[in-house]
Amino acid sequence: MSTTFVNLSSAEERRAAANAIKDQSQERQKELIAGYFSSLAQAKANGKKVIYTFVPGNLTELIANFDLLPVLPEINALQNGMRGRTGDFIHLAEKGGHSEDVCTYVKADIGMLRSGNVGPTGEPLPKPDALLLSYTGCFTFLKWFELLRAEYDCPVIMLHTPYQGSGQITPAMREYVVKQLREVVIPKLEEISGKRYDEEKLKAALARSARAEEDLVGVLESAKCKPSPIDAYFGGVYYIGPIFTAFRGTQEAVDYYQLLRREVEERAAKKLGPVTPEGALEHERYRLVVEGPPNWTSFREFWKMFYGEGAVVVASSYTKVGGLYDRGFRHDASRPLESLADYCMGCYTNLSLPDRIDLLARYIEDYEADGFLINSVKSCNSFSSGQLLILRELERRTGRAGGFIESDLVDPRYFSAANIKNRLESYFQMIEAKRQRV
Amino acid sequence: MSIVVEQKEALDARIAPLLARAQALYEDLDLRAVQAWKSEDPSRRAIGFLPVYAPREVVHAAGALPVGIVGGGDQVEIVRGDSYFQSYICHLPRSVVELAVSGRLAPLDGFLFPSTCDVIRNLSGMFQILLPGKFVHYLDLPQNFDRRLGGEFYQHEMRTVAREVGKLTGIEVSDERLRASIVAWNANRAALRELRALRSERPWLVPTAEHYLVLRAGYLLPVEEHTRFVRDYLAAVRASARHPLDNIRVLVRGAFCEQPPVALLRTLERAGCYVVDDDFLQGAHLIPNDVREDGDPWEALSDAFLHGTVPTASIYDEKAEKGDALVRRVREQRVDGVILMAPSFCDPALLDQPMLQAALEKAKIPFTSFKYAEDTGQFQVIREQAGTFADAIKLWGSA
């Protein structure tokens, strides 16, 4: 990546610069997400119909093609988790017969529904007019929408997304998804919305998607700079917010990612570290690659365990669950439905385990990471099952230090701060020891 | 010794060797039976398949022996398997990996991993790494049930399996070969239907643990041999002097993938429950009725999967009928109560449970639920729970 490096004279200057350029994109991101939740709260009053769907393999451009609004239950769950609401929701779901063993996103969602379906921003969430089950990379999605269907008594539109078991998208897989889009998903969305499918409109949206994706890749790859101007995990989850939720294919997303990229490139040019909740990180001591989703209930505390030690995440797999763009994929207006099919099948959790290992190994090399860390979450078998083999294989292939911690997505009972902090401290010592040996 | 007693012993003597064989096959984790089958002809190949369902007809038509891999149960000491999985992952993959890394799956020439859940899915990738050079295929079963969509995709999947297994055996799967395999498996289905019908009608003749072992033998034996075996068992128990006990009739759901230890099945019966319907080893009876034997055999197998399966947690419930189907089954089988018995940390089964419970509550059908693991070794609590459930139904007609 090409950057111009400018040294600022003092720490104060660097911090001031960091805070100044942080505000614009972060404020814009906040506005977008808040606006999205407001539009959901007013959806029924405004005569808008609502489609519940999932982040991986989401068909945002297609949903927008019919002027429908997407609701993403995982986003509600994680936003509720960050606001400390999910403990009660999960408790409520378990009281209602849901096992303590299963996915806490599902239980947080069921609990929220039973508590009046007030969303994370305190505004009510609209009932779905349909559930679009494009279940990429997670079998639990299937059960989740079976459960929601029983609660809401609304239609489910199933999109079976084949898994890349052999490490590739075959023509048969693509054809299967495209046919489902054409013969199932589109006619059902037409029926629900009362509007005709408009391919030209879809093409225009996909062209905008590709522009935003290009800039998102620019942002994520800025972490190859030393120091990295971003944290590609804790900061990364804010960056992916708009494109993973309701904004892919919109001009707002294009503008946001342009702005974000410009800011990040400026930070890189000035050799500034990533923005943390306590200002810009000044000394990058450890560069890490992280596999697995973050914990949301103690997100800030978790993040501090990293930046407090000068650890920066330079690449992460979690920021690829809603689209894996840094391997070259872009939505393609010239082949709209094929492109949507490839997108659905290309998300990170739809990759085979060997492919996931290849990707992480490449991140470790390309981003010159000191090591990699796996945050294994109890809730998510799609991510977690096989992670201990990933750990071994990555250690064997890269020779870098591997760490392993355990937590959960939104169940506060499974975040043990002392344990995680201890493990992280040991892990950082391991990196130091490796450095000394070198 | 009275004549009656002599007759009883003679009849039991017909059952005993069959059960001894089924037990030996159940304990055959080194796959000696597979090795013996292969040793008869060096060109023979065997393909393992994980739960829940794989179209064994396709493997059979390609000249290979389909072998069910359902973990090590309570028979395997997990030495290395645990180091591959976190504590919150179910038990089955630990013992499967243990079997793999200890070389006990070596007689198998390839593996099919059906799209059952995220754990089995990721296990397919682990096998690609752990057993390099072996044929490993993730079998994506359709969740779209339209013949032109999911059906066409599934046929393509089956043809891929046929081609890859055919490369190992040197046999091309023609329509004729596949049709012959369908006939062989239909004969097996017919025998299993008879067995299930007998168990439902006179459960004292077919104890749950025996039923399970007989079913399980089909995961190692060639299909033709297993069909004969089931028929031999049927003849033996029909002629036996077994007599009914004062047990309630229960139906079990939730055990579709990770298998309960046989001792747990015996515990249920000792606690006063005749299991007259279950979803143990569900791949063996996911498609209970015959597959069409005429016309295009690929289409016939595909249609059978799309429209002929019983409801299970790993297949999308397109018509939202699993609750009604359960209630209907309860009525058909004249069941007194339902046991929802799922493996710990099994997302599909445990996420299904609230929906099944709601249907049972609405229909006022008594049920109880508990969790197990394939290596569960303590049964006292389960015995007490099942016993209390049975007693409550016997005394008051509800739990």
Residue of B nearest to A376 (CA): B86
Residue of A nearest to B355 (CA): A147
Residue B10: its pLDDT value, please? 54
Nearest-Cα distance to chain B for A356, in Å, is 10
pLDDT in tens, A186-195: 999 999 999 9
B253 touches chain A (CB under 8 A): no
Q: Is the pLDDT score of A3 beyond 50?
A: no
Residue B399: its pLDDT value, please? 62
- Of residues A123 and A14, more confidently modeled: A123
For chain B, positions 70-129, list CB contacts with chain A under 8 A.
83-86, 88-89, 93, 113, 115-119, 121-126, 128-129
Q: How many CB pairs under 8 A join A and B?
A: 157
B389 touches chain A (CB under 8 A): no
Mean pLDDT score across all residues of chain A: 94
Nearest partner of B191 among B290, B259, B50, judged by Cα? B290
For chain A, positions 126-145, list CB contacts with chain B under 8 A.
133, 135, 138-140, 142-144
- Distances in whole angstroms, Cα of residue B254 to Cα of each of A126, A327, A346, B258, B338: 33, 40, 32, 9, 11
Per 3-state DSSP, chain B is made up of helix, strand and coil in percentages (nearest 5) of 50, 10, 35
Q: With a cut of 50, list the residues of chain B below it in pLDDT.
A: 1-7, 9
The 10 Å Cβ neighbour count of residue A397 is 14
Residue B2: its pLDDT value, please? 38
The C-alpha atoms of residue A345 and residue A200 are separated, in whole angstroms, by: 23
Instruction: Give the model's confidence band at A15: pLDDT under 50 very low, under 70 low, under 90 confident, else very high.
Output: low
Residues 6+ apart with CB under 8 A from A372: A288, A289, A290, A291, A360, A363, A364, A394, A398, A400, A401, A402, A403
Q: Is the pLDDT score of A236 beyond 50?
A: yes
In degrees and rounded to multiples of 5, residue B110 shows phi and psi of -170, 170
Which of A385, A392, A405, A414 has the highest number of chain B CBs within 10 A, making it the mutation to test binding with B? Answer: A385
A416 touches chain B (CB under 8 A): no
Q: Which residues of A77-112 are buried (b: 16+ CB within 10 A; e: fewer)?
A: bbbbbbeebbbebbebbbeeebbbbbbbbbbbbbbb
% of chain A exceeding 70 in pLDDT: 95
For B129, the domain range is 3-177
Contact across the interface for B123 and A386, Cβ inside 8 Å: yes
Residue B15: its pLDDT value, please? 96
Nearest-Cα distance to chain B for A159, in Å, is 7
Residue B172: its pLDDT value, please? 98
pLDDT in tens, B342-369: 999 999 999 999 999 999 999 999 999 9
Mean per-residue pLDDT, A161-166:
96
Sign of CA dihedral A111, A115, A117, A121: negative
Residue of A nearest to B88 (CA): A378
The C-alpha atoms of residue A319 and residue A302 are separated, in whole angstroms, by: 17
Q: Can you spell out the DSSP letters for B342-353? A: EETT-HHHHHHH
Q: How is residue B292 annotated by DSSP?
A: P
Residues of chain B found within 8 Å of residue A99, distances taken between Cβ atoms:
342, 350-351, 353, 371
> Is B388 domain-assigned?
no
Mean per-residue pLDDT, A328-345:
98
Which one of A146, A158, A381 has the shortest CB-CB distance to B118? Answer: A381
Mean per-residue pLDDT, A416-438:
94
Residues of chain B found within 8 Å of residue A184, distances taken between Cβ atoms:
144, 146, 149
CB A315 within 8 A of CB A363: yes
Instruction: Give the model's confidence band at A136: pLDDT under 50 very low, under 70 low, under 90 confident, else very high.
Output: confident
Which of A54, A94, A106, A142 has the highest number of chain B CBs within 10 A, making it the mutation to test binding with B? Answer: A142
Residue A438: its pLDDT value, please? 74
Which of A94, A147, A389 has the highest number of chain B CBs within 10 A, making it the mutation to test binding with B? Answer: A389
A287 three-class SS: strand
Q: Is the pLDDT score of A7 beyond 80?
A: no
Residue A135: its pLDDT value, please? 78
The C-alpha atoms of residue A260 and residue A28 are separated, in whole angstroms, by: 9
For chain B, positions 281-300, list CB contacts with chain A under 8 A.
none
Q: Is the pLDDT score of A213 beyond 60?
A: yes
B318 touches chain A (CB under 8 A): yes
A389 touches chain B (CB under 8 A): yes
Which one of A163, A184, A386 has the shortest CB-CB distance to B140? Answer: A163
Nearest partner of A380 among B77, B119, B208, judged by Cα? B119
A179 touches chain B (CB under 8 A): yes
How do the domains of chain A map onto residue ranges? 11-437
Residue with tokens 């597959």: B291
ipTM of the complex: 0.95
Q: Is the pLDDT score of A137 beyond 90?
A: no
> Is B229 domain-assigned?
no
> Is B171 domain-assigned?
yes
Nearest-Cα distance to chain A for B241, in Å, is 43
Contact across the interface for A356 and B125, Cβ inside 8 Å: yes
pLDDT in tens, B222-259: 999 999 999 999 999 999 999 999 999 999 999 999 99
> Is B101 domain-assigned?
yes
Which one of B122, B144, B355 has the shortest CB-CB distance to A160? Answer: B144
Identify the helix (H) or strand (E) that includes residue B274: strand B273-277
**Total structural domains within chain B:** 1
Sign of CA dihedral A391, A232, A430, A384: negative
Residue A155: its pLDDT value, please? 95
pLDDT in tens, A23-50: 699 999 999 999 999 999 999 999 999 9
B219 touches chain A (CB under 8 A): no
Which of B88, B92, B164, B326 has the highest number of chain A CBs within 10 A, making it the mutation to test binding with A? Answer: B88
B150 touches chain A (CB under 8 A): yes
Q: Is the pLDDT score of A391 beyond 50?
A: yes
Contact across the interface for B348 and A179, Cβ inside 8 Å: no
Which one of B84, B88, B143 has the shortest CB-CB distance to A158? Answer: B143
B130 touches chain A (CB under 8 A): yes
Q: Is the pLDDT score of A422 beyond 90?
A: yes
Residue of A nearest to B342 (CA): A99
Which one of A103, A179, A354 has the shortest CB-CB distance to B347? Answer: A103
Contact across the interface for B83 and A388, Cβ inside 8 Å: yes
> Is B249 domain-assigned?
no
CATH number at residue B28: 3.40.50.11890
